[in-house]
Amino acid sequence: MSASEVPEGIELSDWRGLDCKSSLRCRHGRPSRCLLCWDGANTGRRYLGCPLKNKSRMCRFVKWVDDEWPPKSQEVAATLWDVVAQFKKKADDAQTDLLGAIQLRNEVMEDKEALLEEEEDWAIEKAALVQEKARIRRELSMRTRFARASCSTLASRINSQELDKKVLVGVILCLLGLLVAMMLSVVLKNK
């Protein structure tokens, strides 16, 4: 913490509130507030500061109440804050990692849900295709039976027609034979 910065101040049970005893005023012209420095080498030193609680609006008024700590104490205080800062950074990093892991897990879950939905769609589509296939099979077997029946009817018809044709040929041949016989008998009678 540089000298120009406003110290990080906290209030204690016995060192708090506005300092109404002195006539000290902050740069806003307001009565100062009793604070304890809680940052850097001056940690633990009491001071009077700006009474505003919004840090961005605070003025830079600082009136130290306690004397400056011995150099060794200042060094120890600063070192302790460095350690605290390192711990904070590690904690932040760990939290960032954790958030990253949570986000990754959520993404994986979303992907999984999307895949499951897709699988359901596929299952529905597959069931429809299976039904369609069964319907086509039934239709095909029906048509095959019909075609066979038609073929056998046609075949029997053709057979019967052929039979009729043979009978007709037979009759014609008989008639021709009869005619020849009659002609021969006429010829023989005339001789």
> How many binding residues for Zn ion (CB under 5 A)?
4
Angle at 171 between CA 167 and CA 172, to 5 degrees: 115
| From candidates 7, 26, 37, 43, binder to Zn ion by CB under 5 A | 26
Task: Lay out the site mask for Zn ion across 51-70 (x = CB under 5 A, - = otherwise).
Answer: --------x-----------
Determine which helix (DSSP H) or strand (DSSP E) holds 173, and give its type and residue range: helix 71-190
CB of 45 to Zn ion, least distance (A): 19
- Rg (C-alpha) for the chain, rounded Å, is 58
Tell me how far apart the alpha carbons of residues 103 and 66 are, in angstroms, rounded to a whole number. 49
Closest CA to 62 of 36, 23, 43: 36
Tell me whether residue 1 or residue 59 sits nearer to Zn ion (CB atom).
59
CB of 13 to Zn ion, least distance (A): 24
Q: Is 23 exposed, middle or buried (0-12, 13-18, 19+ CB in 10 A)?
A: exposed
Please identify, among the stretches 43-51, 77-85, 88-96, 142-150, the one whose residues bind Zn ion according to the rule CB under 5 A.
Answer: 43-51
Of these, 35, 48, 50, 62, which contacts Zn ion (CB under 5 A)? Answer: 50
In terms of CB distance, is 34 or 50 closer to Zn ion?
50
Binding residue (CB under 5 A) for Zn ion from 1, 15, 28, 74: 28
Rounded Cα distance between 159 and 164, Å, is 9
Return residues touching Zn ion (CB under 5 A).
26, 28, 50, 59
